[in-house]
Chains A and B, each alone.
Chain A
Amino acid sequence: MSRRLLAKIAVNGALLLLAALTALPLLWMLSASLMPTGEAMSLPLRLLPSHPTLQHYAALFARLNIGRNFLNSLFLAVAITAISLLCNSMAGYAFAKLRFRGRGRLFALLLATLVVPPQVTVLPLFLEIRALGLVNSFGGVIVAAIATVFGIFLIRQFAQGIPDELLDAARLDGASELRIYWSVVLPLMKPILVTLGVFTFLTSWNDFLWPLTVLTDESKYTLPVALANLSGEHVQDTELMMAGAVITVLPGLLVFLALQRSYIQGIVMGSIKE
């Protein structure tokens, strides 16, 4: 056997093993969610359901009203994505292309805030939300995500590549600055808007600490909060909990699979800052 063949087998074998270990928890979740009650936690070990059933999904939607939590999560993720894309793209474009006094210092100040962990602001932010009467409301969840420094940074990086001649030509044609942003710049920024959009959607979909803090009513819970709550009461119902996990994890995974090129592009852009 040649060395090259040996290397080929070793590399691909290692890849296969690592991939199996990585995928196993998610595959087990899916399989267990389809098992009849009690089968996931029995001896001997069972990897596939004896009689696949959707009973746990039915129970979650009919009895435990998880459809409500699903819609809450979806509404919040869509609203946060739309609002923050608008605000971040306006600010990122202004930092990249419009000339104004203090631009460099202001942007540096914004970047500096990236070192502050969210734990520091979460307590007073809660008091503020409370003072505004937004506890247990979706508005309370949304206000914390209106604009992000990461989003502004990503948009600015991209907008710097827009040729000035294009903007000047539009100015000569008599277009107002806001008109230029809306009709010239926004269409050009579509790729980065998709990237940032996927990022924002997934961050909001998976977020836990803040919705857990703001939302107090079970009917307002997002999926992760509802799932954490369910896992306290239904710890024995393995298959039911796995069906809940599938409903929580799958939408995010599907969004990622559909738009993975854009998503990974964002990580790459974010990681080569300097």
Chain B
Amino acid sequence: MTPDLDERRGSVAERRAAWLLLSPALGAIALFFALPLIAALLLSLTDFDIYALADLRNLRFVGASNYLRLLRDPLFWKVIRNTLVFVVLGVPLTVGAALGGALLVNSKVAKLRGLFRTIFFAPVVTTLVAVAVIFRYLYHPRYGLINQMLGLLHLPAIDWLGDPAWATVAITLLAVWRSFGYGLVIYVVGLQAIPESLYEAAELDGAGAWRQLRDITLPLLKPTTIFVGILITVSLFQIFAEPYVMTRGGPLYATTSITLLMYEQGFRWWNLGAAAAIAFVLFALIIAATGLQALLRGRKSA
């Protein structure tokens, strides 16, 4: 945080200019973020639906009943479970791939590091919708490239998007492919911050590459791991475009994520009250999950 002892020392002209320069951004954030945020909370306490959309007089305050109805809805629990599976499966895979890739790129014997880093990062800047379309063909049970390659390895074909369990895996793998490069770049920064002298000292003590990794690199990378873990967790909780394009949430709702359910409730069936309640449950889950990870970090530094 900035030392704000000198806040009050600004001249009148300086203070006036500050508010002038701040006003467009703050105005936009107030109008198009803060106002909708408060409205969302109120919305989740009403029965806002297509009738209210047509005429606001049809709107009624219903208290917590949107939330209570969600808790009784088996589909909602299924969707929460689906989303948690995406997170539990996707976070370790993404973090592992990011760390592994970063260790390789950062290795002293690696060639063409810049080129490799660019290739690993490229999926991050691709359009999720386009990528979901590509992967839908790659996952085709008969003609898809992935099953063809499995065939070459004499492995059985998998019904990637048709089988409820595999569909979850398929979507998770796509998410891992698209975002591990982001974590990789952050890991490379973390690796480069580790002083070379630590490794030299370990070398003198006769520690091999594996011991150096376990006793120096991984412990010193722990804050990076937690940061990357939180980033990936938050993005997986919000997973939407992948199931929207690839499976429409099927088969049998196996890949319907919280955001997809919210979108369907809100913009397809116009149950905006219920959809707002779903959004707040998602918000609470994200807070809880990131809080848990931050707690892990606190315990380490304490």
Contact surface of A with B, Cβ cutoff 8 Å: 4, 7-8, 11-12, 14-15, 18-19, 22-26, 28-29, 32, 40-43, 45, 86-88, 90-91, 93-95, 98-104, 107-108, 110, 113, 115-128, 143-144, 146-147, 149, 152, 160, 176-178, 181, 202, 205-206, 208-209, 213, 223-225, 227-228, 231, 238, 241-242, 244-245, 248-249, 252-253, 255-257, 260, 263-264, 267-268, 271-272
Contacts and interface: CB of A to CB of B under 8 A. Distances in A.
Given A90-B21, A99-B9, A144-B32, A14 B104 contact: yes
B279 A94 contact: no
Interface of B: 1-2, 4, 6-10, 13-22, 24-26, 28-29, 31-37, 39-40, 43, 97, 100-101, 104-105, 107, 109-112, 116, 118-123, 125-131, 133-138, 140, 142-143, 145, 148, 177, 181-182, 185-186, 189, 209, 227, 234, 237-238, 240-241, 244-245, 258-259, 262-263, 266-267, 272, 275-276, 279-280, 282-283, 286-287, 290
Contacts of A149: 29
Which 6 A-B pairs have CB atoms at the shortest separation, nearest pair first? Answer: A99-B10, A177-B17, A124-B39, A147-B25, A91-B25, A146-B28
Given A121-B37, A208-B128, A103 B25 contact: no
15 contacts: A7-B107, A11-B109, A28-B134, A43-B142, A100-B18, A113-B37, A121-B37, A123-B279, A124-B276, A231-B245, A241-B137, A242-B134, A249-B126, A257-B118, A263-B125
Contacts of A41: 137, 140, 143
Interface of B is mostly: helix
Contacts of B105: 15
A113 B33 contact: yes
Contacts of A272: 189
B282 to A, nearest CB: 6
Given A12-B109, A103-B2, A146-B32, A119 B17 contact: no
B24 A147 contact: yes
B129 A228 contact: yes
B145 A24 contact: yes
B32 A123 contact: no
B49 to A, nearest CB: 12
B145 A45 contact: yes
Contacts of B101: 18
A255 B127 CA distance: 13
B21 A143 contact: no
Nearest to B107: A11
A168 to B, nearest CB: 11
Given A7-B209, A177-B17, A256-B122, 10 more contacts: A18-B101, A19-B120, A25-B131, A91-B21, A103-B18, A121-B33, A124-B37, A176-B17, A223-B127, A224-B130
Contacts of B21: 90-91, 93-94, 98, 178, 181
A29 to B, nearest CB: 5
A143 B267 CA distance: 20
Contacts of A176: 13, 17
A177 B36 contact: no
A45 B266 CA distance: 42
A11 B133 CA distance: 32
B134 A22 contact: no
Contact of A208 (B100, B121, B129): B129
Contacts of B121: 256, 260, 264
B20 A40 contact: no
B105 to A, nearest CB: 7
A93 B22 CA distance: 9
Contacts of A88: 25
A120 B107 CA distance: 42
A95 B22 CA distance: 8
B14 A117 contact: no
B37 to A, nearest CB: 5
A22 to B, nearest CB: 6
Contacts of B262: 119, 123
A146 B8 CA distance: 29
